[in-house]
Amino acid sequence: MNNESIDLAVNTIAHSRLNKLNFNGLPLNIKPNNEDEGYAIQEVLHDRLAGRVAGYKIGCTTQVMQDFLNIDQPCAGRILAAECFESPASLPHDNYRRVGVECEIAVRLGCDLPPTGAPIQVETIRNAVSCCMAAIEIVDDRYVDYTKLDAPTLIADDFFGAGCVLGAPNSDWQSLDLAAVKGRMQINGSQVGDGIGAHVMGHPLEALAWLANTLSRRGHGLAENDIVLTGSIVETHWLNAGDQVEVSIDGLGNAAVSFV
């Protein structure tokens, strides 16, 4: 894609998001043909949205989510600082077209990971993580029919990303086996799903390493204080107005949000 095509694609997606319209894909002449082109659109999109980026979300890191979306590889999106909330949070349900939630292990980086360090190994990633926390990823089905959109197009639009709610940070996370910890999600007091950290690419830090190396191929790195959502260990659940959500991760605590 040339710069003009990228700019037209960005204008189309930004108009849809800023005006809360249902997105029906991109015309063929400005549609990304592969993941790299999708990420190229995503990068420019956030300049157009004019919001500070707080970090990244990684989607499709678990078999349950790959089966749910029929996409067989991880996909990343950016998280805007204005859409990153501390638990417990109360958010307007009508801020979203069709809001959903996911149960995740989130990390905060304690140092920069520049692209010059690639390929980045899990041990390097481990030493760069300052804390971990339970998190709720907020996703928004802002599409006419997402099943008819391919991965590059969804990547261009942050892969459903609409923010997150973060639990209290745990700086003693190194004492935990993140692959073995169990997470669960409740909606209105009833458990709707559970899973373990190993469901995320074998280990949540493998997902983080995947992100660092994916960014490095485009000349980008991760920065100190970036938040990264490593992927949902529970299938996405879509919400009604008034629903209350709580996720808990063994050893990392809870995160809660209500949609009013």
pLDDT score for 65: 81
Question: Cα 232 from chain centroid?
Answer: 9
Looking at this protein, which amino acid is placed at residue 80? L
| Cα angle for residues 122, 124, 125 (degrees, 5° grid) | 60
pLDDT score for 137: 98
pLDDT string in tens for the chain (260-residue length): 999 999 999 999 999 999 999 999 999 999 999 999 999 999 999 888 878 999 999 999 988 888 888 888 899 999 999 999 999 999 999 999 999 999 999 999 999 999 988 899 999 999 999 999 999 999 999 999 998 999 999 999 999 999 999 999 999 999 999 999 999 999 999 999 999 999 999 999 999 999 999 999 999 999 999 999 999 999 999 999 999 999 999 999 999 999 99
Task: Identify any residues that bridge with 165 across adjacent strands, giving them in sequence order.
Answer: 85, 136
pLDDT score for 153: 96
- Structural domains for the chain: 53-259 (3.90.850.10)
pLDDT score for 68: 80
Distance CA 226, CA 224 (A): 6
> Dihedral through CA 230, CA 236, CA 239, CA 244, nearest 10?
-50
Strand 161-166, strand 129-140: pairing: antiparallel
Tell me which DSSP letter residue 258 carries.
Answer: E
162 in Cβ contact with 99 (< 8 Å):
yes
pLDDT score for 161: 95
Q: Which of 58, 104, 65 is nearest to 79 (CA)?
A: 58
Tell me which DSSP letter residue 213 carries.
Answer: H
- pTM of the predicted protein model: 0.94
Helix (H, G, I), strand (E, B) or coil at 248: strand
Q: Which of 1, 28, 23, 2 is nearest to 12 (CA)?
A: 23
123 by Cβ neighbours in 10 Å (0-12 / 13-18 / 19+) ranks as exposed
pLDDT score for 10: 97
